[in-house]
Amino acid sequence: MRLFGVLLLLAGMGFGAAAQAQDLKWNEVVAKARGQTVNWNAWAGDEKTNAFIAWVGEEVGRRYGIKVNHVKLKDTAESVARVVAERAAGRNSDGTVDLIWINGPNFLAMKQQSLLFGPFTHVLPNFAYVDTARKRSNLIDFTIPVDGFESPWRMAQIVFVYDSKRVQQMPGSAVELLAWAKKNPGRLTHPSVRNFLGATFLKQALYELAPDPSVLQTPATDEKFAAVTTPLWAWYEQLLPALWRQGRQFPENGPAQRQLLNDAEIDLMISFNPAEAAVSIDAGLLPDSVRTLVFAKGTIGNTSFVAIPYNAASKEGAMVVADFLLEPATQARAQDFRQMGNFTVLDLSKVSPEARKRFDDLPKSPALPTNAELGTTLLEPHPSWMTRIAAEWEKRYTK
Amino acid sequence: MNRGAFAPLRLDAVRIGVGGRALILPLTFDVAPGECVTVMGPSGCGKSTLLAFISGTIDPAFVVTGRVLIGATDITAMAPEARRVGMQFQDDLLFPHLSVGENLAFALRPHVRDRTERRARIEHALAEADLAGFARRDPATLSGGQRARVALMRTLLAEPDVLLLDEPFNKLDAQLRGDFRRFVFDHAAERGLPTLLVTHDATDARAAGGRVIDLAWPLSR
Amino acid sequence: MRAAPALTVAVFLLPIAAGLVGTLLPAFGYLPAIGGSAFNLDGWRRLASYPGFRSSVAVTLTTGVVTSVLAVFVAFGFCAIAHGLGWMRRIGGWLAPILAAPHSAIAIGLAFLIAPSGWIVRALSPWLTGWTVPPDVATVGDAAGFALVLGLLLKEVPYLVLMIVGAMSQVPVQQHLAIARSLGYASTESWVKTILPQIYPQIRLPIYAVIAFSLSVVDVALILGPSNPPTLAVLAVRWFADADIQFYFPAAAAATLLLLLVVAVIAAWFGVERIAIGLGRRWIARGRRRSGVTFGASVAAGAFGIVFALSLAALVGMALWSFAVQWRFPDALPQAWSLANWMRRLDGLAVPAWQTLLIGAMATAIALVLVVGCLENEARARRRPGAGALWMLYVPLLVPQVAFLFGAQVLLVRANFDGTLAAVVWAHLIFVLPYLFLSLADPWRAFDPRYARTAASLGASPARVLFAIKLPILLRPVLIACAVAFAVSVGQYLATLFAGNGRVATLTTDAVTLAGGADRRVIGAYSLLQALFPLLAYLFAAALPALLFARRRGLAATP
């Protein structure tokens, strides 16, 4: 009986929060947001992104009177842990986290534990421009339906960046990558599989090596996992000794790996940002000779979102920021490789002609791939595959 | 408030012990205004401890009974800064961060408010010490003898009722010793201060010209 | 004034105790807020079943013990050789820039220095080595922990040397050495056989602090240590921050295990001490005039020189990066320089720099008031503090930070106090206070009591004595102690992270976050400021008394 009462209470809390979001009107939201401080928890390992977030803060401050505080994270999981700690301490309102740059397993964790405010994206006026037809990852986050609990802001697709001065034959698939690595031992690495980019390296290989890739869209079970990943581990076992540091050490994240390429410790690296090469050359973080390549059969792509915790102190301010991120002018600036170089989440056929021209006028670079070159985007597998792959990798290769 | 102008210093059954044994057996004596009583004894017999007791800065490890009075006022329980007991050590202990004049000014009582008056008094004190015009000097630039004289003038400027001297002549050479001794005793007598001198040097005692109390071992046991 | 000691104890012992409890309970399964309501060993089981558990414990222990042993050897060996040299008295000044720089700044600089694509290789390539690409050798982040040991030594050795120099001032060194040498012992032999045994008891607590730190350091391990698996402390912090809250339990277990390891190693060290003392006595009694001591000490002195050179090079390297536009391998120096870097970074640096300054100043100020209060209280009551008081002061330095900061964070969150500047100041205070006390205690206690007696006899109240006489005369030791305290605050990493809940950014937290591999030019700027701030504090501490008391020769001598 008590259990039923608790369940009812929990359901009521969830309901209550949802009910509030449904009834919001935009002008009310903007009015309430004025004067709020939004603590935007975002991974801070990249200078350009930090600068972009700072610019967003300035613009939003000017236009809406909102103060944005960029809470710099080493890892998005820190934010999730914080919200959990706050709920554990009974802090159900006035939380310290207002907005989180999030996707994938972290989003799944928060959505499952009812730690998110929403659904709220239907309230945002600029959400109408989002491409929901051809960029399905804007609605399905790692096979989890978004249901309006997070708002997209940038797209990512796996590419490989290489130094054209030292790499003559470009590998175009996982199998070719293995052959290349064997010929050039110690010149390739990937971030630690605990990092999402590192895990994606393995996922990308899995797409190619798995007997039937469609099974990756379903949750992983023990038997499925064992069967599907056998060829992957066979391939990886051969690759490991040919990696940098003989596969005994890995850079912690993308920027660390990029530093290795800049230091000439490696010649080839994986990246989630198609504009990475162009952006880095511009910022002096990589030499001018780097170029971008994509695998022939396509690479994994996903969307990055922003979400609002259930106990956020400045929910309205957070929503205004999320909406601002979807504004065509903002998206165009984000796609400019001199700023951040992230391809847009918007459907350019839905925006106004002036906005479309902004996109056309963006600067170009030899290291910047065209949309055609980026080819097919493969959907992210179910998050359970990533968590299992990461766990299995740790088990096998952490001694 | 000059409570004890020309009042005697009185020790009444003063007994000091430490760690269970007695250091100084009951002492009772008076020091008349202008008189200088010498307390003598070898090292470690408690002479300096006695002075510390009178000035109110004795270490709590010592167990003390008895009273100290200036005239009719019992100062045994008073805070050290309220006692008006002047002290001279064998080191001049001029405050190194203050100039000669500032050292003297520190001692000058606050009831002398007027700045010109204060400066005048300081200059007068310096002149008495044969150091006219030295007010702005750094104490470290003075000779040993000069510093000792400034130290005494500092003590006297505070208008004490009693003067305690803890082996003040030790660090001076023979020639300076004699001169400074005379300087101290002259001033003490002039102001009518009951003076207590602690020393292990017999010539000091003779120069003091007053009674001698010997705290030698057999007596203190 | 009388409340000072009680207040001081409250400030740092209570939070540590509370924090420890707050970490110990979850280690055994008790954290009702997330569903752990019964005591169980699940956390421990998960910890033990982590694939890299054994290697993690092994690397933690080896790096911790090896660092401690080497640090002690190099520090004592160096002092044995160098004690006679005139400049040893000014060694504090030489070591100041290294001691001032936070651990993480030196670690970041070292990482660049010794990497296969680092400065040393760049300086030697390709003309000496023939390398056009860096060799595939793990010098940073290696699984055995060599880089970590080196990074720790760079700070621990100067720290111990300073403690030794301080301890030597309490012993009549010159007389003892004169006697020993007149008996036929060489200079180094004399020092090791007569001075070292006398000063060791005073170095014991600093050595224990070095042991505890080496075993439980997080920021240096993040930068230089292995990551697969990492040391136990890094593992604990990683799990504490994990999105899956069930990781709190093994995280707390890891932190508790770390605490036990620290206690065990210190106890083992104490045991070895006893044996060494027995053996040492016999060795000394044998009366051999020439044993291998001089040789060993020379090796140690050489090692000290290397440590010193590496530290300076580490700092200079990062300074160069902050002004570089492009610095590719294998160039020995950046191809292009510019101040534009700094201009661009100024915005991003402003907030953490300002907060670092503010937190450091406030923590130092509060600590100063408390410490002066305690010391004055002690002076007025004329009480000598017992050895117990010294141990109490060392508690924050002996307990692994990760073992109590998590528990403290939960308390802060409950009190709705976390994430504020005040919470961070308070967390810093816990570590700043012992260092300030230890720096100031000796000079304060050595203050000639007769000054105070004289001033009292001249009619000055105790308060007037304190402010008009004691503090001005002790100005230099006070300012130096404040500089030490400020440096400690600047270098804090975990404390800021936990108490600030990630919302308070200081130069150190940002630098460690960026050290992962962002732009080295940016990291260079952060590291430089990290090292500069405390250095400026030291310079201020040296300069201000010199300025104020320029015409007071009595205060010119270094106490």
Whether residue A232 is found in the same domain as residue A349: no
Is the residue at C33 inside a domain? no
Q: Is C176 exposed, middle or buried (0-12, 13-18, 19+ CB in 10 A)?
A: middle
Whether residue A243 is found in the same domain as residue A384: yes
Mean pLDDT computed over C122-148:
85
The chain C residue lying nearest B165, using CA atoms, is: C454
Q: Where are the domains of chain B?
A: 1-84+161-221, 96-159
Confidence band for B165, pLDDT divided at 50, 70 and 90: very high
**CA atoms of C353 and C527, how far apart (whole Å):** 11
Residues of B at the C interface, defined by Cβ within 8 angstroms: 52, 55-57, 59-61, 79-87, 89, 91, 93-97, 99, 106-107, 109, 138-141, 154-155, 158, 160
For residue C515, the domain's CATH number is: 1.10.3720.10
Distances (CA, A) of B197 to A116, B138, B154, B176: 85, 29, 18, 18
Nearest C-alpha neighbor of B92 from the set B49, B58, B131: B131
Nearest C-alpha neighbor of B104 from the set B128, B84, B91, B121: B121
Q: What is the DSSP letter of A128?
A: G
pLDDT 10s digits, B200-210: 888 888 888 88
* B200 vs C468, higher pLDDT: C468
Whether C451 and B95 lie within 8 Å, measured CB to CB: yes
Whether residue A67 is found in the same domain as residue A189: no
What residues in C contact A52, CB-CB < 8 Å? Answer: none
Mean pLDDT computed over C470-478:
91
CB-based contact, C331 to chain A, within 8 Å: no
Least confident of B16-25, C28-37, C246-255: C28-37
Is the residue at C77 inside a domain? yes
Nearest C-alpha neighbor of A71 from the set C419, C437, C143: C419
Which pTM value belongs to this model?
0.80
The pLDDT value recorded for residue A7 is 40
Number of structural domains (chain A) is 2
Whether B93 and C448 lie within 8 Å, measured CB to CB: yes
Tell me the residue range of the domain where A55 lies.
3-153+304-363
Alpha helices in B8-114 (DSSP H): 47-55, 100-107
Is the residue at A370 inside a domain? no
The chain A residue lying nearest C499, using CA atoms, is: A82
Whether residue C164 is found in the same domain as residue C287: yes
Asked which of C334, C364, C398 is the last residue of a domain, the reply is C334
**CA atoms of A309 and A314, how far apart (whole Å):** 10
The set of residues, in sequence order, having a beta carbon less than 8 Å from that of C326 and lying 6+ positions away, is A284, C334, C335, C336
Whether residue C306 is found in the same domain as residue C382: no
What residues in B contact C558, CB-CB < 8 Å? Answer: none
pLDDT 10s digits, C286-309: 777 777 888 889 899 999 999 999
How many residues would you count in chain C? 559
Is the residue at C123 inside a domain? yes
The amino acid at residue C14 is L
Token representation of residue C228: 């697969």
**CA atoms of C9 and C433, how far apart (whole Å):** 10
The pLDDT value recorded for residue C103 is 92
List the subunits that have 3+ CB pairs under 8 angstroms with C.
Answer: A, B
Whether residue C282 is found in the same domain as residue C374: no
For C112, the 3-state DSSP assignment is helix
- ipTM of the complex, rounded to two decimals: 0.81
Confidence band for B1, pLDDT divided at 50, 70 and 90: very low
Mean pLDDT computed over C163-175:
84
The chain C residue lying nearest A102, using CA atoms, is: C243
Least confident of A3-17, C30-44, C152-166: A3-17
CB-based contact, C334 to chain B, within 8 Å: no
Whether C243 and A76 lie within 8 Å, measured CB to CB: yes
**CA atoms of A197 and A203, how far apart (whole Å):** 10
Which of C448, C450, C458 is the closest to B158 by Cβ? C458
Question: Residue-wise pLDDT tens for chain A (399 aa)?
Answer: 443 334 434 433 433 344 355 557 888 899 999 999 999 999 887 777 888 999 999 999 999 999 999 998 878 888 898 898 888 888 888 889 999 999 887 898 899 889 999 899 988 999 988 888 767 778 888 788 889 999 999 888 899 999 998 888 888 889 999 999 999 999 999 999 988 899 999 999 998 898 888 888 888 888 888 888 999 999 999 999 999 999 888 988 888 899 899 888 999 999 988 888 988 888 888 988 999 988 888 888 888 899 999 999 999 999 999 999 999 999 989 988 888 888 888 887 888 888 888 888 888 888 887 766 776 678 888 878 888 898 899 888 877
The chain C residue lying nearest B105, using CA atoms, is: C458
Mean pLDDT computed over C11-38:
81
Is the residue at A187 inside a domain? yes
Whether residue C301 is found in the same domain as residue C372: no
The chain C residue lying nearest B166, using CA atoms, is: C450
Token representation of residue A95: 């939380």
Task: Evaluate if residue C234 carries a pLDDT over 90.
Answer: yes
Which of C227, C241, C520 is the closest to A252 by Cβ? C227
The pLDDT value recorded for residue B218 is 46
C292-298, Cβ contacts within 8 angstroms, sequence gap of 24 or more = C293/C80, C293/C188, C293/C189, C293/C192, C293/C193, C294/C81, C294/C186, C294/C188, C294/C189, C296/C73, C296/C77, C297/C77, C297/C78, C297/C80, C297/C81, C297/C188, C297/C192, C298/C77, C298/C81
Burial A317-328, CB ≥16 within 10 A → b, else e: bbbbbbbbbbbb
**CA atoms of B88 and B76, how far apart (whole Å):** 20
The pLDDT value recorded for residue C424 is 92
CB atoms within 10 A of CB A35: 11
Q: Which of A93, A114, A263 to probe by mutation at the C interface, max C CB count within 10 Å?
A: A263
Whether residue C350 is found in the same domain as residue C425: yes
Whether residue A188 is found in the same domain as residue A248: yes
Whether residue A245 is found in the same domain as residue A346: no
What residues in A contact C226, CB-CB < 8 Å? Answer: 249
Is the residue at A273 inside a domain? yes
Distances (CA, A) of A210 to A207, A234, A257, A377: 6, 11, 27, 17
Is the residue at A208 inside a domain? yes
Whether residue A386 is found in the same domain as residue A242: yes
| Cβ proximity of C441 and C484 under 8 Å | no
The amino acid at residue C500 is G
Whether residue A224 is found in the same domain as residue A281: yes
Task: Evaluate if residue C44 carries a pLDDT over 50.
Answer: yes
Confidence band for C130, pLDDT divided at 50, 70 and 90: confident
Whether B96 and C554 lie within 8 Å, measured CB to CB: yes
Whether B80 and C457 lie within 8 Å, measured CB to CB: yes
Whether C461 and B81 lie within 8 Å, measured CB to CB: yes
**CA atoms of A385 and A378, how far apart (whole Å):** 15
Whether C243 and A250 lie within 8 Å, measured CB to CB: no
Number of structural domains (chain C) is 2
CB-based contact, C111 to chain A, within 8 Å: no
Least confident of A254-258, C84-88, C248-252: C84-88
The chain C residue lying nearest B99, using CA atoms, is: C552
Whether residue A296 is found in the same domain as residue A311: no
Q: Min CA distance, C452 vs chain B (Å)? A: 9
Mean pLDDT computed over C185-190:
84
| Cβ proximity of A100 and A129 under 8 Å | no
Task: Evaluate if residue B18 carries a pLDDT over 90.
Answer: no
Query: Could you tell me how far CA C103 lies from the centroid of its own chain?
Result: 7
The chain A residue lying nearest C132, using CA atoms, is: A264
Whether residue C22 is found in the same domain as residue C54: no
Whether residue C386 is found in the same domain as residue C425: yes
Asked which of C306, C334, C362 is the last residue of a domain, the reply is C334
Is the residue at A109 inside a domain? yes
Q: Which of B53, B62, B106, B195 to probe by mutation at the C interface, max C CB count within 10 Å?
A: B106
Mean pLDDT computed over C268-279:
93
The pLDDT value recorded for residue C369 is 93
Query: Within a 13 Å sphere around the CA of A48, how many CA atoms are in the beta-carbon half?
Result: 23
Q: Which of C327, C338, C519, C520 to probe by mutation at the A interface, max A CB count within 10 Å?
A: C519
**CA atoms of B31 and B194, how far apart (whole Å):** 6
Whether residue C343 is found in the same domain as residue C271: no
The set of residues, in sequence order, having a beta carbon less than 8 Å from that of B187 and lying 6+ positions away, is B128, B152, B156
Confidence band for C501, pLDDT divided at 50, 70 and 90: confident
The amino acid at residue A335 is Q
The pLDDT value recorded for residue C243 is 65
For C362, the 3-state DSSP assignment is helix
Q: Which of C378, C383, C457, C548 to probe by mutation at the B interface, max B CB count within 10 Å?
A: C457
pLDDT 10s digits, C344-391: 777 778 889 999 999 999 999 999 999 998 888 888 877 767 777 777
Whether B87 and C451 lie within 8 Å, measured CB to CB: no
**CA atoms of B136 and B144, how far apart (whole Å):** 17
Tell me the residue range of the domain where C69 lies.
50-334
**CA atoms of C518 and B49, how far apart (whole Å):** 68
Distances (CA, A) of C43 to B139, B196, C54, C477: 69, 75, 16, 48
Query: Could you tell me how far CA C500 lies from the centroid of its own chain?
Result: 21
CB-based contact, C325 to chain A, within 8 Å: yes
Whether residue A11 is found in the same domain as residue A76: yes
Whether residue C375 is found in the same domain as residue C252: no
Is the residue at C41 inside a domain? no
What residues in A contact C503, CB-CB < 8 Å? Answer: 39, 69, 71, 96
Task: Evaluate if residue B216 carries a pLDDT over 70.
Answer: no
* C63 vs C125, higher pLDDT: C63
Whether residue A202 is found in the same domain as residue A120: no
The pLDDT value recorded for residue A11 is 39
For residue A341, the domain's CATH number is: 3.40.190.10
Q: Dihedral (C-alpha) A149, A153, A157, A163: value to the nearest 10 degrees?
A: -140
The pLDDT value recorded for residue B62 is 87
CATH homologous superfamily for the domain B1-84+161-221: P-loop containing nucleotide triphosphate hydrolases (3.40.50.300)
The set of residues, in sequence order, having a beta carbon less than 8 Å from that of B44 and lying 6+ positions away, is none
The set of residues, in sequence order, having a beta carbon less than 8 Å from that of B80 and lying 6+ positions away, is B55, B56, B57, C453, C456, C457
| Cβ proximity of A110 and A138 under 8 Å | no
The set of residues, in sequence order, having a beta carbon less than 8 Å from that of C441 and lying 6+ positions away, is C375
How many residues would you count in chain A? 399
What residues in C contact B91, CB-CB < 8 Å? Answer: 450
Is the residue at C9 inside a domain? yes
Cis peptide before C126 (omega within 30 of 0): yes
Strand partners, A145: A140
Query: What percentage of chain C has pLDDT greater than the value 90?
Result: 36
CA end-to-end span of chain C: 26
Task: Evaluate if residue C417 carries a pLDDT over 60.
Answer: yes
Whether C245 and A84 lie within 8 Å, measured CB to CB: yes
Is the residue at C268 inside a domain? yes
Whether residue C228 is found in the same domain as residue C370: no
Is the residue at C465 inside a domain? yes
Token representation of residue C137: 């050798």
Q: What is the DSSP letter of B141?
A: G
Whether residue C400 is found in the same domain as residue C327: no
Distances (CA, A) of C18 to A81, A263, C407: 21, 46, 7
List the subunits that have 3+ CB pairs under 8 angstroms with A.
Answer: C
Burial C352-389, CB ≥16 within 10 A → b, else e: bbebbbebbbbbbebbbebbbbbbbbbbeeeeeeeeeb
Whether residue A387 is found in the same domain as residue A352: no
